[in-house]
């Protein structure tokens, strides 16, 4: 288990690094094709968050990787006006804890902070990640689901996958 925990940690750290370096293809490859990406909304008190992305408000929700692929396409082509120019980011990830779920599946939690710089303005986002990570047939690990809890009470301008 310890070796897999270390590999899961490495996957989470690699994800942040690839976003910061804008290595979009390698970043997308960390995700299974059916991977869910979800950023629930706060229920107002800053402690409870929405629990059903299909029936409650979410800040971001993609049922599979195609939503992330579309975001990357829009960034690359300039079709995302909120991302022009694209912010420079730095992800700081820590306190990673990994639990084995069985059958090659793992659940990892971590804390994160992202500093984002765009148009002479710095924004900071922070929160927790929850990753479901699955071992593939070739032994590699892929993200099967990612939930991003954002603890900011105020979202300063645009927030996208690369800033959280």
Query: What CATH code is carried by the domain that includes residue 45?
Result: 3.10.450.50
Strands 88-102 and 121-135, by their bridges, are unpaired
Strands 105-118 and 88-102: antiparallel
Q: What is the pLDDT of residue 54?
A: 95
User: Are 150 and 75 contacting, i.e. CB atoms less than 8 angstroms apart?
Assistant: no
pLDDT for 45 beyond 80: no
Nearest CA to 156 out of 113, 116, 112 is that of: 116
Using a 10 angstrom Cβ sphere, with 0-12 exposed, 13-18 middle and 19 or more buried, the burial of residue 59 is: middle
User: Does the structure show a pLDDT above 80 at 157?
Assistant: no
What is the Cα–Cα distance from 162 to 112, expressed in whole angstroms?
13
How many structural domains comprise the chain? 1
Is the pTM here over 0.85, yes or no? Answer: yes
The domain in which residue 35 lies consists of 2-163
Helix (H) or strand (E) holding 45: none
**Which parts of the chain are beta strand (E)?**
31-40, 58-62, 88-102, 105-118, 121-135, 141-150
Q: Is the pLDDT of residue 1 over 90?
A: no
pLDDT of amino acid 46: 65
């Amino acid at each position: 288990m310890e070796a897999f925990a270390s590999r899961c940690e490495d996957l989470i750290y690699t994800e942040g690094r690839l976003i910061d370096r804008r290595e979009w293809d390698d970043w997308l490859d960390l995700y299974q094709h059916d991977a869910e990406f979800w950023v629930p909304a706060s229920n107002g008190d800053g402690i409870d968050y929405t629990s059903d992305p299909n029936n409650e408000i979410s800040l971001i929700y993609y049922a599979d990787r195609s939503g992330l692929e579309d975001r990357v396409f829009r960034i690359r082509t300039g079709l995302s006006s909120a991302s022009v120019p694209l912010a420079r980011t730095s992800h700081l990830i820590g306190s990673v804890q990994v639990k084995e779920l069985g059958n090659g599946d793992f659940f990892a939690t971590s804390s994160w902070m992202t500093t984002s710089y765009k148009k002479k303005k710095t924004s900071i986002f922070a929160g927790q990640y929850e990753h479901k990570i699955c071992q593939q047939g070739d032994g590699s690990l892929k993200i099967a689901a990612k939930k991003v809890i954002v603890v900011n009470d105020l979202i300063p301008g645009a927030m996208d996958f690369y800033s959280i």
